[in-house]
Structure 1
């Protein structure tokens, strides 16, 4: 069902509100286990990253139909809680989310209407675009930042739609995507193994069972209320904390030309005599 936005009757929206209601008060106790997962595992104890992630999610919830133009990359071993983290965001935005995209063709290829009108998307171990991480970076940069997207629907003419997707990558790879030196679109988190489902950490199964069981109706309504009431008036999604994980991605993404420029930066800075260049 489509209804008009009150502020402008000429504009139509498919946004019909969220699944979970806003409460009068917040029970922080039922949220603590999830907050601990974000801080200890996803942000690896980095307070800057933790606050950014909370603000990013709150921005997403408070601004349906808008793009943050910033994506979050979660690197880390399997079974440490990355999916438990994003499953909650996908549930909060369940009417407007794609929670498991594994191929970039779902964004750019034929019949990509699945991503239309989606405010949240999860790229889970996304396959390389044309076997080139640089290709993935180029395409994803456009998807993350562009305000429109071309939609191809079966038996329908191609059309341009508003691009409102906000994206989280989940990966076990050391180098999931190439980043430019001046990248302003990615928060890269090297997630910490605090708990893990594995043969070596069988005792952590109980932890993850308890975590999953805490995701109740009460939990989601309290979290929705927390996110809707969080003050993000000073938050700019593109002012992204630099992390060691991002520095490493930028370093390994450099081309041979970049390496030469950095190695001889001082010479380039003050100019190289033409006679030396011709040698």
Structure 2
């Protein structure tokens, strides 16, 4: 588990200080919330780029994932005069609060890493300790681990849709076609099947921005100005019609690694329409008149 992950104390220390500088003064942000912001920053980045930001080891605890090295690095930051720690008594437990005293040194973090950290802060730093703990319990790496066990980064590729951070969007005509299939009861389980396809696409994306040919094929013959690779899913499984991957449905999509975006362009049945609409893809990149 996590054998190829390289831990960087320098980067973890920078991320800790950066998060404190951004939201440490928020009344809800204590040690529990800090642990979860670190966890989701690393694991969300891993889903997007197949490498973590810090390589930290996170452990499953009843209140959610915790960072193995947080306490040591927090003490280093305190001793260096970069942050301060205060303790607040909340009924029967202590709440630890952190304040940044200096600008964080973040030269070791690149723009993609900072973007993911900022997204994590913006999306979940307003949660209370209980809310963010409960939320972390739904993430697949935590769900599959035993208590006290290290969390496996690879399980981000088996996340439920609520936790997936890759972006998905649809062409307006795709949405029309999708809804028409549902209205005509041609694939009763289409919504469920489509969500499953999204998860499989994230899992199967290869380092060279390709997908296994058993899942989909690259679309050729497009105009030169089409900026992103286009693919067609030929083995779409429709659970509701009991034909496995021979449902007859085809789905075309574009994938942008830079934007981490899957853009679905067309869905059709090969028995009614033999080939994909390449012109629809070309038109997405045609100069606006």
Q: TM-score range by the shorter chain?
A: under 0.3
TM-score (norm: length of structure 1): 0.26
**Greater CA radius of gyration, 1 or 2?**
2
